[in-house]
Amino acid sequence: KIAEQLSGIKDYPKVNKAAIKEMHRQVGDLNIDEQGIAQRGLLVRHLVLPNRLAGTEDIVSFLAKEVSTNTYLNIMAQYHPCHHAFDIPQLSRPLSSEEFSQAIKLAHQQGLNRLDKDSFLPPLRLILR
């Protein structure tokens, strides 16, 4: 419901999940060569939002159970409120370091261990808080 309200897209999570499953069916898990360059496969980028609005727990559970525990996942902490975000109380503040750490923990709890190394490097603004 919140996804539809914020995005204006009906059934956004359902459509998004179907697209991810289809992409994985077509290209499989991400393959990376010896130089660390992606050759082929699915890489999921997930932007964590304040107040659990991104549905991180649901997303990592979906990836682990319905796609692959070998899914390469980039958990992003770059959310920065601007413009109309200040009109939505739940989105009017930056992400906290605790919220970001919780997202990493949730991914590991679901058995997702191919997290992009940048997922462990929150933006400096989270560290300096």
- Expressed as residue numbers, the domain containing 30 is 2-127
For the whole model, what pTM was predicted? Answer: 0.87
- Burial 1-12, CB ≥16 within 10 A → b, else e: ebbeeeeeeeeb
Chain centroid, CA 79 distance in Å: 11
- Say how many domains are in the chain: 1
How far is CA 75 from each of CA 38, 87, 122, rounded to the nearest angstrom?
17, 25, 9
The tens-digit pLDDT sequence of the chain (129 residues) is 677 777 788 888 899 999 999 999 999 999 999 998 999 999 999 999 999 999 999 999 999 999 999 999 999 999 999 998 999 999 999 999 999 999 999 999 999 999 987 766 666 555 555
